[in-house]
Structure 1
Amino acid sequence: GMSQYSRNERNANSGIVVGIDPERDYPGGPLAGIELQERLEAHAYVMGGSNYQAPAQLVGDFVAGRASTALGSVEPSYKPGVTLGDLAPSLPDFAIEAIREALPAFDRQIKGYNLHDAVLTGIETRTSSPLRITRGEDFQSLNLRGLFPAGEGAGYAGGILSAGVDGIRIAEAVARDMLAL
């Protein structure tokens, strides 16, 4: 995702997750989620200038629905850089509306989250895989014995903490399976 270069920089690095419904938001079968990701990511690449810069917008401009043309007091830390503009075309309307509604609510919990000059940078299209490799009660793949699908790539986690917890559960399942031999 867009944050891979900037995890230890001068600014906070956080994400805003918007829930999606496969039937409503990307109908069409099991690979439709991957097709949606590819479409959104390709469009973000173009919006960023087709040079690996990320599209970006000041929070105040985003909430007001106007394109950003100049940075304020917050200097983006994303490398290789950002291209200012309007993020609204980068995501479906329902996602943009949800983020616009969430920012002031987040600010009530974390003062400064809705800072006018804060920079929204993105997009990131993944918290977990849009496909899930199904597994049974013993945590093994339903299709291939001895395969223990785990973590974000297998569709069982949405971040580093939940992936770690899932990894522990898988390690315990593998140990149980080995003892049963």
Structure 2
Amino acid sequence: MKKTGSTENYYFVYFPIEGSAEKDSKYYIIFNDKGVFQSDILLLGLKEKDNFIHAVVHNNDQVVFDALLQENGSVESGFAILSDNTKQEFSKSTVAPKGWWSCFNNCLASQGVAAWAITVVSTMCGVACAATFGIGCAICFGGITVVSGSVVGYCSGTCQKDPDSY
């Protein structure tokens, strides 16, 4: 998949992870338009006891997200590492998407994207948007596109027009 940046293009190569991993678990490698490695990301969901999913995201060998989620995507507990390397703890009481995010999450779910993957990406994006006062949001949307492909454009456009549509 190709993503155009401000000064160069980026190419995302991804490999689905099968076996005991949950649907939408993937390993991504990102290159610039000169073929130079930029980053790698592991998005992994593993089934735990009591119908929980242990969701982990590694970015360049650093854990940037680690949470215990219910199968419906509800957060039990976890943390994200912000771009300034501070740790943002969260629990089921601290993660509650509203408005556009709620619509967007529901739309992605209706299109078949796994609930745990939606929670991971939307939680990371919410943290990024809040921590950077919006700058991280643009970066995050690139990540959402990688996770769910062309469904993002449909859901984003639909929810911008009518946040109550899903």
Shorter-normalised TM range = under 0.3
Q: Which has the larger radius of gyration?
A: 1
User: Greater helix share, 1 or 2?
Assistant: 1
The structure where strand makes up a greater share of residues is 2
With the length of structure 2 as denominator, give the TM-score of the two structures.
0.28
TM-score of the superposition, structure 1-length normalised?
A: 0.26
